[in-house]
Amino acid sequence: MSEPVGIHVEGVHFGYPGRPVLRGVDLTVRPGELAALIGLNGCGKSTLLRLAAGLLRPDEGRVLLGGDDLARLSRRAAARRVALLHQSSPAVPGMTVRHLVRQGRYAARGPLGMLREDGDGDPVVARALRDVGVERWAGREVDALSGGERQRVRLAMALAQDTRVLLLDEPTTYLDLHHQLDVLRTVVRLRAERGLSVVMVVHDLAHAARFAERVVALRAGRVVADGTPKEVVTPGLLADVLRVAGRVGEDPEGGWPVCYPDHPLPPLEYENHIH
Amino acid sequence: MTRRFAVLAALAVVCAGVGLVAGRGMSPVVAWEVLGGGGDPTERHIFFQLRLPRLLVALGAGACLAVAGLVLQSALRNPLAGPEVTGVTPGAVLGAVTATALGLAGWESPGTVVLAAVAGGCAGATLLWLLAGRGRGDPARTAVHGVLVSAVLGGGTAMVLLVEPGELGSVVQWLVGTTEGRVWQHWQLLWPWALAWGAAAWLLAGPLTLLRCGDDTALAAGLAAHRARALALLCAVALTAGAVAAVGALGFVGLLVPHLAVAVFGADLRVSLPGAALTGAVVVAGADAAAQLASRLLAEGLDAGRLTLPVGALTACLGAALLLVVVRRTPGHTF
């Protein structure tokens, strides 16, 4: 196993004409760390992940992966170092699970390498299928799977890139609680086994506090809080970053912070009464 | 998978056989004799100088159009993309018709027609490229612009025909798509072109498969999606222009055969690109055989000796029916 690789985001600015998205973000994810990225919709979380994956180029600043400047790498070379799981997945008609996961090997094998079929399949594909526990239905069509199963397959595709850095954009958003935990536990386990550095965007503070060692809060394109779950998940953060009033307790067994968001009820005249 | 290829290859042989014996001017029995080495010089000429090249051109053009369609649909992630709606086919038609009207090419000099059609096809695709502008990464917008470009180019063709109606008779056949009167010269122009660009398309199978997964996924997996798409479109344009130059604007083959091919051979383009080529060859050769049989029966029934049914008319009718099936089978899908 090779050494874990860290991510350094240095003074990154990014925006579209007339709409700045990130206004000077500095973020260091240490090798082998699992960091959660939180913030309101539109605060720049997904953009930051795309920049960290090299899918976007920063207007200012730079992104380093284990010392390499992402802007100097080709798309393929970047995809050999960092994998990104998008939050939504379009339909892939006719594709089987194994076929889709195999597409994750493109960066390593190249356009001509993808044409070659190895005798008993690509070992990395087989491992990725095992990692997320989908090898039993590798022959099924992806579009026929449930949302939770499909997300696991997508995760396997990202794992097939065999990178040291894994970026997850809301990996649990469309899933029920059971499948949310399923995906997160897989990520936590693989990180422990392989020393992956993981950054994931999550909306559920319970997941961030429970699974991440580090929570980074973004507001309007800037990092406003960065630290351990205990340091960051506070009533002040709830009000300031997520704009909800709430209390924060402590899990009686694990000791991690637990939020009790408590939106004040609106005044009576705004409610929909039946007279 | 090997069995599916074998079945289709057998179908191709059947279609080819029917196509060789079905035409008018020579009874099937005579055709059989010629094949066995008999027949008089005229019959031998009909069989080896007219029917055989015609059949080969039909097979080759069908393969080109089907591969071009599958490449387009994968690259644009659009099930309703086809050479007909991306400006390529109408551009090639306009090029050929204009060259004929200007007297630069005639139906006796197929080489010039090929060049004019390729130039027109490329011009049509370039027009789409320029018109789509910054939105060319967006499949939906590209498709809309493609329809627009196709309509404009079709209008251009109509204008040329109105100004210069002299060649109208033969041009109309060609507008619908026909294999009538295709000789060895056409085949010799078609096959190297088809082989080269077909091979290029197959080498792009990996990137094309990723493009089918959507740009976000493709980029994250390490594919420079825009460059790959540009290369794929170049292949599709070249293949279409070659086919159109050979047989004219055969409708619906490039749009619908890819759906058949994916249904039969799956979404693995390493397999389904050759599969599409075979399916396209079978469809066009089969349609040509059917058109010849129908012409023969119609000619006998209506007692009209010169009546011929162009193969394009048949593929268009067949295609319209298939299109309905495709549209109904994929409700609410973008792909």
CA–CA min distance A20, chain B (Å) = 21
pLDDT in tens, B255-267: 889 988 998 998 8
Sequence-distant (6+) residues with CB within 8 A of A29 are A6, A7, A8, A35, A197, A199, A214
Residue of chain B with shortest Cα separation from A82 = B220
Please give the residue of chain A at the shortest CA–CA distance from B212.
Answer: A92
CA distances from B303 to A38, A186, A258, B270 (A): 81, 76, 90, 49
Tell me the torsion sign for CA atoms B94, B100, B106, B112: negative
- The CA distance from A212 to A235, in Å, is 19
> Higher model confidence: residue B104 or residue B69?
B69
Residues of chain B in contact with residue A90, where contact means CB-CB under 8 angstroms, are: 77, 213-214, 216-217, 334-335
Q: Do B222 and A90 touch (CB under 8 A)?
A: no
Domains belonging to chain B, first-starting first, are 2-329 (1.10.3470.10)
Tell me which amino acid residue A41 is.
N
Mean pLDDT over all residues of chain A? 88
Residue A1 has pLDDT above 80, yes or no: no
CA distance B107 to B121: 18
Q: Residues of A with CB below 8 A from B222's CB?
A: 75-76, 78-80, 106-107, 161
**Per-residue pLDDT at B135:** 66
| pLDDT tens-digit readout, A98-147 | 999 999 999 999 999 999 887 667 899 999 999 998 889 899 999 999 88
Average pLDDT, chain B: 84
Q: Which residue has the higher pLDDT, B170 or A26?
A: A26
Closest CA to A74 of A110, A32, A47, A124: A110
Which residues in chain B have Cβ-Cβ distances shorter than 8 Å to A151?
A: none
Interface check A87 vs B, CB under 8 A: no
Distance CA(B100)–CA(B59), nearest Å, equals: 25
Residue A102: predicted pLDDT: 94
Rounded-to-10 torsion of CA B205, B209, B215, B218: -90
The answer to whether A112 contacts B206, with C-beta atoms less than 8 Å apart, is yes
The answer to whether residues B257 and B69 touch, using CB atoms and an 8 Å cutoff, is yes
AA letter at B305: G
| Candidates B206, B213, B268; nearest CB to A111 | B206
**What does the pLDDT average to over B36-48?**
82
Rounded to 10°, the helix B2-22/B52-76 angle is 140
Cβ within 8 Å, pair B221-A91? no
Give Cα separations from B41 to B29, B44, B48, B49 (angstroms): 16, 5, 10, 11
| A32 contacts chain B (CB < 8 A) | no
Question: Which residues of chain A does B265 touch, with a Cβ-Cβ cutoff of 8 Å?
Answer: none
How does residue B332 score in pLDDT terms, banded at 50, 70 and 90?
A: very low
Q: Which of B76, B223, B271, B334 to mutate to test the interface with A (most CBs of A within 10 A)?
A: B223
State pLDDT tens for residues A226-253: 999 999 988 888 888 888 888 888 888 8
Q: Specify the DSSP element, H or E, that contains A226.
A: strand A222-227
Nearest to A208 by CA among A218, A195, A221: A218
| Residues present in chain A in total | 275
Which residue of A94, A103, A106 is in closest CB contact with B262? A94
Residues of B in contact with A53 (CB under 8 A): 220
Q: Do A111 and B334 touch (CB under 8 A)?
A: no
Mean pLDDT of A61-85: 92
pLDDT digits (tens, 9 = 90+) for B98-139: 887 777 766 566 677 777 887 888 888 888 878 877 766 666
Has residue B20 got a pLDDT over 80? yes
What does the pLDDT look like over B82-93, one tens digit per residue? 888 888 888 988
pLDDT, average across residues B171-178: 76
E strands of A120-202, at which residues? 165-169, 197-201
How deeply is B3 buried, as exposed, middle or buried, from its count of CB atoms within 10 A (0-12, 13-18, 19+)?
A: exposed
> Chain A: residue nearest B77 by CA?
A92
ipTM: 0.88
The answer to whether B246 touches B96, Cβ cutoff 8 Å, is no
| Single pTM value for the model | 0.88
| Spacing of C-alpha A233 from chain mean position | 19
Question: Which of A86, A110, A115 has its CB closest to that of B220?
Answer: A86
Q: Which residue of A has its CA nearest to B227?
A: A75
pLDDT computed for residue B176 by the predictor: 80
A-chain CB neighbours of B224 within 8 Å are 74-76
Chain A: give the shortest CA distance to residue B57, in Å.
29
Q: In the predicted model, is pLDDT for residue A166 greater than 90?
A: yes
**Token code pair at residue B28:** 């099937």
Determine whether the interchain pair A78/B222 forms a contact, defined as Cβ–Cβ distance below 8 Å. yes
User: Tokens 């798309």, residue?
Assistant: A75
Instruction: Please report the number of interchain residue pairs, chain A to chain B, with beta-carbon separation below 8 angstroms.
Output: 91
Is the Cβ of A263 closer than 8 Å to some Cβ of chain B?
no
Q: Which residues of B295-325 are buried (b: 16+ CB within 10 A; e: fewer)?
A: bbeebeeeeeeeebbbbbbbbbebbeebbee
CA distance B289 to B283: 10
Q: Specify the pLDDT at position B335.
A: 46
Gap from B245 CA to chain A (nearest CA, Å): 31
CB atoms within 10 A of CB B250: 35
Task: Give residue-wise pLDDT tens across range B187-201.
Answer: 988 899 999 999 999
Candidates 3.10.450.50, 3.40.50.300, 3.50.50.60, 3.30.930.10; correct CATH number of A7-270?
3.40.50.300
Question: Would the CB atoms of B222 and A79 count as touching at under 8 Å?
Answer: yes
Interacting residues of A230 by C-beta distance below 8 A, sequence separation 6+: A256, A257
Neighbours of B111 (CB within 10 A): 13
Question: What whole-number percentage of chain B has pLDDT above 70?
Answer: 90
**What are the structure tokens assigned to A242, written together?**
């997520």
In what order do the strands lie in the sheet containing A60-65? A19-29, A7-16, A60-65, A68-69
Distance CA B29, CA A230 (A): 92
Q: Is the pLDDT of residue A80 over 50?
A: yes
Residue B305: which pLDDT band, with cuts at 50, 70 and 90?
A: low
Q: Let me know: does A219 contact A229? Beta carbons within 8 Å.
A: no
| Predicted pLDDT of residue B195 | 96
Query: In this complex, do B209 and A115 lie within 8 Å of one another by their Cβ atoms?
Result: no
For residue B332, count other CB atoms closer than 10 A to its CB.
Answer: 5
Query: Chain A contacts of B334, Cβ < 8 Å?
Result: 90-91
The number of angstroms, rounded, from the C-alpha of B233 to the middle of its chain's C-alpha atoms is 15
Region of B128 please: left (phi>0), alpha (psi -120 to 50) or beta. alpha
| Residues β-bridged to residue A216 | A37, A226
Report how far apart, in Å, the C-alpha atoms of B24 and of each of A160, A188, B54 are.
59, 74, 14
- Chain centroid, CA A57 distance in Å: 19
Which pLDDT band holds residue B333 (cuts at 50, 70, 90)?
very low
Measure in Å the smallest separation between the Cα of A111 and chain B Cα atoms. Answer: 5
Burial classification of residue A136, based on how many CB atoms lie within 10 Å of its CB (0-12 exposed, 13-18 middle, 19 or more buried):
exposed
* Cα Rg of chain B (Å, integer): 20
Q: Is the CB of residue B248 less than 8 Å from the CB of residue B93?
A: yes
Residue B167 has pLDDT above 90, yes or no: no
CB contact under 8 A, B220 and A80: no
Q: Examine the pLDDT at B334 and tell me if it is beyond 50.
A: no
Q: Is the pLDDT confidence value at B170 over 70? A: no
**A82-85 and A165-169 as β-strands: parallel, antiparallel, unpaired?**
parallel
B125, B87 in Cβ contact below 8 A? Answer: yes
Chain A residues in contact with B70 by the CB 8 A cut-off are none
